[in-house]
Structure 1
């Protein structure tokens, strides 16, 4: 088969039909086999009519062919269906179809979908996160001149290349021979298939088949880890208390950045499994991370820490085993016949929330255009003022918070319930039914965006999974399929909806062996549960079980100067917000004297304008690298401001600065790539959590940018912006081990968040 041509109607049908999303469905398996060329396409797939011969296949739907849009896959040139396994091929195919649907409708692209600037190309990275990603190259304007003369430019997308190797997309020229054959046959094909549309019977139903995912072997990329027995003598008394505490009760590990919370949680998990194996007991353990990048990092670390390789054991066969999952993958296992891989907004929780924010921004634009005039006369003055004063991107953050925590989390998508929910303390300034009506209208427009793309966001997935778990069927299966021990890393990054699902996964309802790590100060913005104290309220199990708490206080990562500065940021936040914790208040630095000799004072440096600020960031990074004796990959340049991040990226590209960009939170693999390449690391402050560097340079810590637009208004939205700015600055600064520089523009002046540090002389360069 030389080519496959799919029209927009057939494409919509394929991305909407659940049975085409996985090879575990008969239809999905048959579809991918036909894409491989092993069997012929089925004659009718719901509304799709097929024409297939020795040249290629056309998947068509009723309608005039000149008004349709088409995806053409050059099977000979792209080899899209000969390089991957069946499941990966179908997933890649579905991700390709979804890109086309979004591209044609003007939808928001995610991090794995790129329009190549200055060219007519697009690139898709359809498979799971990888250091060597598989890519699909698309020509967005094939045969441009000929199609423009036919008034059909913009109607075609051509897949002309796939593989693991990159290329210069701006100069690459696809072979259009097969595309030309497709175009020349379209009129004839639609003449034939149009007669068949009314005659072909509906395809029969399908049987659902369960799926088991087997994780691929991952090679360790970090050398800093040691086996369990080597770690135990190095633990502090509090860490040791947590590691060896009773596993059958809830246990909360509290501590700020750099205190070894994640390491302690891993050691506790391995200790519980080892004890069970020693005693001849059964123990099926689950370790949950917030993002896919963190999951991969933890799996790598466990390969060294855990000599018994519990994570490589099959939990269906072995009495003692460990599963390492994200919340999305955990829920997907419950919803495996209800939602497919390609229907997630994004498997990675951080990426999902960012893409959710972009969808909400589009929803706000629609409400601005179509609905706001009817709400305006009835809105409260504060709500009206914020709607008219803020841009869509700023509003999107606030509405995202309202939708996740209140509308979906506490109101269950019901406006009647939502009306009776008390408003959030830090967020939208909602004070009446009209305000809530406007907020709910944004939510409805946002849901329309998801439905148009046949996708579900993280809250949809979690709430749906919770619904399937709270049933007699799961309660009966629970004793066989649930877990004896659950560990949750970085609990502060989950919202209240997400936390409420975990108690369903314990083997016994009256026993909640859940251990979890918390640093409230790292939660970017009010997650809606910071003021919840009890375990029962936090996890929603309704029990009266008492939990143990262990607070770790020795900071191993940061120098005393950096620790003190970070503590000043938290102290500033704690004085402004009732639910903002100063988690560093009682901590001490665990630096040795040798380490302190490499440490530099925290400095604030001012520049004349943004151009000099950006140039100065790279200069300071290189100076501090030399002063601390660090490698280039141990230097991070970060910012809290999106516009400055673009300027930093442009400068690094235009001046050939060897730089690697972070694309998601806890991106250990990218840091490892930077280490191999000898690059400085650059990324937004939202992406640096979970990482650590010898040197950190934070750009744009000045008034108007940290927090955004200052704090001149007293309102919920300003408070939320300030709350989030305290979080982000603390997270970014606490990544630094030996050196921390903060940069700003002189005319703006230093951010007000530095006030406590200035007053206590914890930062140099400010008089």
Structure 2
């Protein structure tokens, strides 16, 4: 096949239909097959094969006068690109054609070559094959002859590669174009002489278009199971339909629909059990109360709310049920409420860990003010220098990990066992036995503080619950009281202690019917976490490893935002050996209409921190107007506590309407903001799990992101690691726009320096 001719109406269908945007959908794979010369069927399009090529028009429509011809003999996209890159290149090329025909402005990756009738499209993002790959288009092929024969506007896509070729003097071969033109003219004449096309009911066509557009809105849970199955990518379908009785890991970056897939898999199993009239008890574990409420709403919106329970004992009354619960509440219920809510650091697992930090920060302050003067001769030089030079908050984070995972989890609170455990590669730099004895004494101080306030932390609760489950009584009752299947969302927020309890809750120790979603780029809580230890903690004595199902189709963010997020994660990938970059093969699924709303991320530079509050609110208003959304569709993330406090104070004094998040994934606060039509402001730690049309990031300056406080090599690396993760999470909350506000005197954070060099960030045009 030497050419593919696509008329304007077919181009419009391809760039607007979500199923043509990503190889996870069959229509997208079919169009790649056609480019390779194979036959395929495209929904909504008519395919006519000729002796030399293929003509694509829209079903039930007269052929358009405007046409683009792909000269496959010379274009040869499949020689140098993989299938995904070919699809992106085709989409970007057809979108340029639509802009050209409609007289619309071009994007930064499209340009008309001055002094010629050529145009060039740079279709690939920088992380795919570099941004120098180009596709060349002749805007007036065979112009003199066509001007006498047709009023249509023909385009010829005739070349691709990384070289500029002969520039403005380059002549495109017209051999295949002339064949395509003659074949298309014959088709047009045949249609004109044929009987009139059947009239299509406008309402049905409208419904079809609405259906295709809706397929991209992964954030809407109220679809119904059967409708969702039609809209999922193949990767997602494979996970939803996979065997529930074996461990299954769903991994992918933010915005790939991991939570939705976990819910649909649970619904799929419940649906099958209901149809078979068989009993099935499921457990859905989440890290926060807000996420639990959101998950329950998804079951309700998809018609299975009656099967959702709040307690693990409530399921005894139903043949089919799913208990949606936080890990902390689950453990409290397993302990038969021996621990009241007032004795928990917090009902929310995430907030409980933050409270731990406050206790440990107090201990670190005492170390600095009271202990250090007499410790220099007692501790190893490396550990003493670390305590003496490092920032308090950094030490508190590392001490929390040592207390939770190593002392409580691995050593069971026993000093002799703790002293025999090798130091973590990325843990506290304890080099001697004296170092470990000193750390253990601080652990005892922490436990004393908990006892004085009559509280238990999350690790105490989990380990105690495991103790009650790892008994002959539970092993005998496990078959009756255990769960048939278990689902864990955002597993990257749990540590090894928390994960370890779950394999005790299945009906059989030999089976691990556990499915879980993970985004390693968001995992900031357990720096020593490795896949081997995680697998051992999850599976217990069961044989076999979890099936890994990566998902790569990103439904939330535009190409420009994905590129920026990838740049951020790539620049931090060498900080820890357990880092995995989920964006390496990610692709967006935006249609042409959604792409119109998108823009390259940009930076506004200010000269004084005093300008930040008013400048931020001004940009919120401008972004909301530009995107035609309420101010609640714009999130403000501030990376410096002092700036956040100042912004909140100024906004209050000037009567600006806003909502401030004080918990991670606070969906109720977001709902309140939506009702009031006001913007949302937050620290980066609280924005996970949320989605907005646009995001404004404040305080991404040198010395603030990451903080300058880290003095030791490891302290700096740890703060750098957290800064990369927080920035990644904040950026990926945005669907269409990301803007930064940076103090020009400080300069932009080094984390974003590579993004500037790669020209992924422009100056904002205010």
Calculate the TM-score normalised by the size of structure 1.
0.68
2:417 equivalent to 1:417: yes
* Cα shift readout 1:623-670 (whole Å, capped 9, x = no counterpart): 111111121111111122222221221122122111101111111111
- Give how far 1:610 is off: 1.8
Describe the SS at the equivalent of 1:749: coil
* Cα shift readout 1:167-215 (whole Å, capped 9, x = no counterpart): xxxxxxxxxxxxxxxxxxxxxxxxxxxxxxxxxxxxxxxxxxxxxxxxx
1:270 matched to which residue of 2? 267
- Tell me if the contact between 2:297 and 2:305 (Cα under 8 Å) persists in the aligned partners: no
- Give how far 1:439 is off: 2.2
- Separation in 2, partners of 1:691, 1:337: 32
- Tell me if the contact between 2:241 and 2:265 (Cα under 8 Å) persists in the aligned partners: yes
* Cα shift readout 1:297-320 (whole Å, capped 9, x = no counterpart): 111121112346211594112211
- Separation in 1, partners of 2:551, 2:685: 24
Distance 1:684 1:379, change over 3 A: same
- Tell me if the contact between 1:426 and 1:526 (Cα under 8 Å) persists in the aligned partners: no
- Give how far 1:388 is off: 2.4
Distance 1:626 1:710, change over 3 A: farther
Equivalent residue in structure 1 for 2:742, among 744, 752, 761: 744
1:286 matched to which residue of 2? 283
- Separation in 2, partners of 1:490, 1:697: 24
2:593 equivalent to 1:589: no
Describe the SS at the equivalent of 1:508: coil
Range with bigger deviation, 419-428 or 264-273: 419-428
- Separation in 2, partners of 1:665, 1:271: 29
- Tell me if the contact between 1:494 and 1:527 (Cα under 8 Å) persists in the aligned partners: no
- Give how far 1:245 is off: 0.5
Describe the SS at the equivalent of 1:309: helix
1:645 matched to which residue of 2? 644
- Give how far 1:606 is off: 1.9
- Separation in 2, partners of 1:458, 1:447: 13
- Separation in 1, partners of 2:527, 2:650: 35
2:671 equivalent to 1:672: yes
- Tell me if the contact between 1:345 and 1:355 (Cα under 8 Å) persists in the aligned partners: yes
2:237 equivalent to 1:240: yes
- Tell me if the contact between 2:637 and 2:681 (Cα under 8 Å) persists in the aligned partners: yes
2:263 equivalent to 1:257: no
1:76-475 alignment runs, 5 A limit = 225-307=222-304, 309-312=306-309, 314-475=314-475
- Give how far 1:534 is off: 7.0
- Tell me if the contact between 2:390 and 2:715 (Cα under 8 Å) persists in the aligned partners: no
1:721 matched to which residue of 2? 719
Describe the SS at the equivalent of 2:583: coil
- Give how far 1:399 is off: 1.4
- Give how far 1:748 is off: 1.7
Distance 1:286 1:598, change over 3 A: same
1:507 matched to which residue of 2? 507
Distance 1:560 1:322, change over 3 A: same
Range with bigger deviation, 249-258 or 315-324: 315-324
Describe the SS at the equivalent of 2:741: strand
Range with bigger deviation, 250-259 or 388-397: 388-397
* Cα shift readout 1:419-467 (whole Å, capped 9, x = no counterpart): 2222223343322223323322222211111101100000110011111
- Separation in 2, partners of 1:478, 1:525: 31
* Cα shift readout 1:149-173 (whole Å, capped 9, x = no counterpart): xxxxxxxxxxxxxxxxxxxxxxxxx
Distance 1:606 1:309, change over 3 A: same
Distance 1:376 1:365, change over 3 A: same
1:210 matched to which residue of 2? none
- Tell me if the contact between 2:386 and 2:712 (Cα under 8 Å) persists in the aligned partners: no
Higher Cα radius of gyration: 2
* Cα shift readout 1:700-751 (whole Å, capped 9, x = no counterpart): 111111111177x562221111111111110011001111012221122111
- Tell me if the contact between 1:634 and 1:693 (Cα under 8 Å) persists in the aligned partners: yes
Aligned residues: CA RMSD: 1.9
Distance 1:378 1:489, change over 3 A: same
- Give how far 1:493 is off: 0.6
Describe the SS at the equivalent of 2:737: strand
- Give how far 1:581 is off: 1.4
* Cα shift readout 1:585-642 (whole Å, capped 9, x = no counterpart): 1010111111111112101222212222333222222211111112111111112222
- Tell me if the contact between 1:429 and 1:717 (Cα under 8 Å) persists in the aligned partners: no
- Separation in 1, partners of 2:723, 2:459: 24
1:74 matched to which residue of 2? none
- Separation in 1, partners of 2:433, 2:745: 43
Describe the SS at the equivalent of 2:455: coil
- Give how far 1:487 is off: 0.4
- Separation in 1, partners of 2:652, 2:583: 38
- Separation in 2, partners of 1:415, 1:644: 43
- Separation in 1, partners of 2:284, 2:303: 14
2:490 matched to which residue of 1? 490
Distance 1:512 1:436, change over 3 A: same
- Give how far 1:548 is off: 1.2
2:107 matched to which residue of 1? none
- Tell me if the contact between 2:560 and 2:601 (Cα under 8 Å) persists in the aligned partners: yes
Distance 1:686 1:308, change over 3 A: closer
- Give how far 1:384 is off: 2.2
Describe the SS at the equivalent of 2:265: helix
2:735 equivalent to 1:732: no
Describe the SS at the equivalent of 2:423: coil
Structure 1's unaligned 5+ residue stretches are 1-221
- Tell me if the contact between 2:245 and 2:511 (Cα under 8 Å) persists in the aligned partners: yes
Structure 2's unaligned 5+ residue stretches are 1-218
- Tell me if the contact between 1:603 and 1:764 (Cα under 8 Å) persists in the aligned partners: yes
- Separation in 2, partners of 1:759, 1:581: 24
Calculate the TM-score normalised by the size of structure 2.
0.69
1:755 matched to which residue of 2? 753
- Separation in 2, partners of 1:737, 1:317: 43
- Give how far 1:266 is off: 0.1
Describe the SS at the equivalent of 2:567: helix
- Tell me if the contact between 1:605 and 1:742 (Cα under 8 Å) persists in the aligned partners: yes
2:182 matched to which residue of 1? none
Range with bigger deviation, 435-444 or 226-235: 435-444
Describe the SS at the equivalent of 1:376: coil
- Tell me if the contact between 1:660 and 1:674 (Cα under 8 Å) persists in the aligned partners: yes
1:620 matched to which residue of 2? 619
2:600 equivalent to 1:601: yes
- Separation in 2, partners of 1:765, 1:538: 48
- Give how far 1:535 is off: 6.1
> What is the aligned residue count?
543
Describe the SS at the equivalent of 1:638: strand
- Separation in 2, partners of 1:223, 1:602: 25
